[in-house]
Structure formats: structure tokens, C-alpha cells
Structure 1
Amino acid sequence: MASPEVETVSSGADKAKLAAAVVLAALGFTAFFMLEAQGALVQWAALLISLVAGAAVFFVSESGRQLIGYGQDAWRETQKVVWPARREAIQMTAYVFAFVFVIALFLWLSDSLISWVLYDLILGWR
């Protein structure tokens, strides 16, 4: 099946919005370090306000709208999934824990055997 071509068109205004979002975030980080004498509350307020403003400008751009659409589609897909019942989930988790325990025991025994053969039998260091 042929997939439709997706063409991303980026206008000058969209690029300006993205640049403004990056500049706002960078100004927030700069303000955080330059406002050290003002106290922690002012520092964090300047940082958070500029990051929120940058995020708002980003979400107004086409890339931000696409990200929001992607998130909505992902949420919609999670709603469509048939999730296992609680009992099935607990059983599967118990199987995974048991398997991990068996593999860990095997690795420990293998390591101990190799260590015993190498250090005790071959090299005689112990």
C-alpha cells in the first residue's frame, strides 16, 4: 500500500515563532543566573515565566500544533487498547519476576563456576 507523501511547509512567521520560543527560553536561563543577587524566588519566577512564555509561543507555531495533535492521537490510541485484567497483569508480573530470578541464579552459578575453575584449579590463587 502506498503511503501518502507528507510535505512540511514552514513559513517565515513559523520560523520566527520558533526562534522567539528559543530566545525566550534562553533569556529565562540567562535571567536566572543574572538575578542571583535578587534571591531565589525572583530567579525561579523569571525562569518559570520565560519558559512558560516560550512554551506558549512554541505551541502556537505549526510544530507545536503538530506536537499537540500527536499527543492527542497517542492518547486516543491508548484508549483503544484492550488492557489486561488486574489478575492477568499480576500473574504476568510474577512470571517475569520468577524468570529474572532464575536467570540471575544461573548467572551467579556460572560466574562462581568460572571463578572457581580459573582461580582455584588453574591459577591456584586461593
Structure 2
Amino acid sequence: MTDEIKVPDAGTADKAKLTVAILVVIAGVAGYYVLAGRPAWLRWTPVAGSLALAALVLAFSRYGREFRQFVELARVELRKIVWPNRQETGMTTLVVFIFVVVAGIFFWLLDLGLAWATKLITGQGS
């Protein structure tokens, strides 16, 4: 028994909106290159404007509705999280700090031991 997930196909209007959004961004990038000799802020203005306009066009498509629904569900899940209090955060930070110090000492001693063994094997220590 297999359950297939059915994804609704985007309608013609949504595909047209997506195409328009892509063309708007391409036009903004083209505007960037057309204004090659101008100051940077003036060259980036068409790019920023085209991105804003493309986002506005996409917001009124099925993709925009799905994105808004995703953001709303993510916010609901974010509210369900039990965040640690100040004491738990401090204790966890202290444990991590101590572990890092202990690991650093361990690797320092391991390095000293391997350096000693390498000098002993290669005869460079005498």
C-alpha cells in the first residue's frame, strides 16, 4: 500500500506571474549593466526595485500563498518551543567552556606525545 502525495499543479495565471517575476529580475540586472558608468547606489537601484516588484508579483500567486502559510506554521511551531531559562543557559555555557578547556589540554598533551615519539623514531631529538 503506497500513498502518493498529490501536489496541485500551478495554474496558467501562476505560471504567468512566475514568468513575469523572472523577467522583471532580468530587466533589473540588465539595468545594472546599462548604468555601468554611474555611481554604485544608482546602479543597484534597478536591481533592488526589480527584486521588490518580483516579490510583490509572486506574493499574489499560489507560491506566495504557500510561502505565507509556511511562515505562519513556522511561527506556530516557534511558539511551542520551550526555551531554556537564564540559569540553564549559564550552566550549559559553563559545561561547554569546561569541555573545550579539557579537550584543548588533551590535544596539547597528545601533540606533545606524538612530537616526542616522532623525534624518537626519526632520531632528530639527539
What is the match of residue 12 of structure 1? Answer: 12
Query: CA offset at residue 51 of structure 1?
Result: 0.9
Deviation at 1:3, TM superposition (A): 7.6
User: Aligned ranges for residues 84-123 of structure 1 at < 5 Å?
Assistant: 84-118=84-118, 120-123=119-122
Residue 111 (structure 1) shift? 2.5
Write the deviation string for residues 62-103 of structure 1: whole angstroms up to 9, x where unpaired.
122211211111111111211111111111111112212222
AA matched with 1:80: K
Change in 2 beyond 3 A, CA 1:60/1:105: farther
**Identical columns (%):** 32
Aligned residue in 1 for 2:124? 125
Pairs within 5 Å for 1:25-40:
25-40=25-40
- 1:22-55, Cα deviation, whole Å (9 max, x unpaired): 2222221221122122332321211111110111
Secondary structure of 1:37's counterpart equals coil
Give distance in 2, aligned partners of 1:56 and 1:92. 43
**Residue 77, structure 1, aligned to residue 84, structure 2:** no
Q: Which amino acid aligns with 2:94?
A: A
Deviation (angstroms), 1:105: 2.3
Distance 1:114 1:79 in 2: 50
Q: Given the two structures, how large is their TM-score scaled by the length of structure 2?
A: 0.84
Residue 48 of structure 2 is aligned to residue 48 of structure 1: yes
Secondary structure, counterpart of 1:8 in structure 2: coil
**TM-score for the superposition, normalised by structure 1:** 0.84
Q: Secondary structure at the match of 1:94?
A: helix
Q: In structure 1, give the amino acid aligned to 2:9.
A: V
Instruction: Name the CA shift for 1:83/1:36 in 2 (closer, same or farther; >3 Å).
Output: same
- Could you tell me which runs of 5 or more consecutive residues in structure 2 were left unpaired when the two chains were aligned: none
RMSD: 2.1
Shift of 1:4: 8.3
